[in-house]
Structure 1
């Protein structure tokens, strides 16, 4: 199952985000093929305000298990998380 995750930082969390970011990226690197794409959500000034992830897991429970241990969740950087099912048809210009 494929999921799109939009996670929004709490107010004033940019410094905390940058502090936690190495642990976040380390955890993301361990996800391997579960990641279809990922990046930061930007405000109008180009500053990070959250994250967007498109992930592939066998179940919503596996996604929830990942999120429960995500450093941005544990350190309360992300204030609001939205998850929807998605059907990725094209990634990196290639039909899936």
Structure 2
């Protein structure tokens, strides 16, 4: 099953995002290598600065997807104000398996 991780940054924490970015990217690259990561990228505020993340992962359950979100270095660094885990149905423009 696919799950969307909707992550909202805490206000004033752009420095935490930037300092933690290399380990966050390493984490996502690891998920990608194992086929778990489907798509990821930051949300941008009106000034074009990152203010959250959208990550879509494949997992066996919502709990497993939540565990992936909790293991993200951004989450461990306290960047996120909230993380919502939603089941996702990729209908349009899905790449061929």
Q: Structure 1 length as normaliser, TM-score?
A: 0.89
For residues 25 and 6 of structure 2, the distance between their equivalents in structure 1, rounded to whole angstroms, comes to: 16
Specify the alignment match of 1:58 in structure 2: 60
Structure 2: distance between partners of 1:18 and 1:31: 20
Give the drift of 1:91: 4.0
CA–CA distance in 1 between the matches of 2:69 and 2:4?
A: 13
CA distance in 1, matches of 2:93, 2:18: 28
Match for residue 11 of structure 1?
11
**Partner Cα separation in structure 2 for residue 26 and residue 13 of structure 1:** 20
Q: Cα distance 1:57–1:3, how it changes in 2: closer, same or farther (>3 A)?
A: same
The aligned counterpart of 1:27 is 27
After superposing on structure 2, the runs of 4+ consecutive aligned residues of structure 1 that deviate more than 6 Å are none
Summarize the alignment of residues 39-78 of structure 1 with structure 2, pairs less than 5 Å apart.
39-78=41-80
1:36 is displaced (CA, Å) by 1.1
Aligned match of 2:92: 90
| Structure 2 portions without partners, runs of 5+ | none
Where does the alignment leave 5 or more consecutive residues of structure 1 unmatched? none
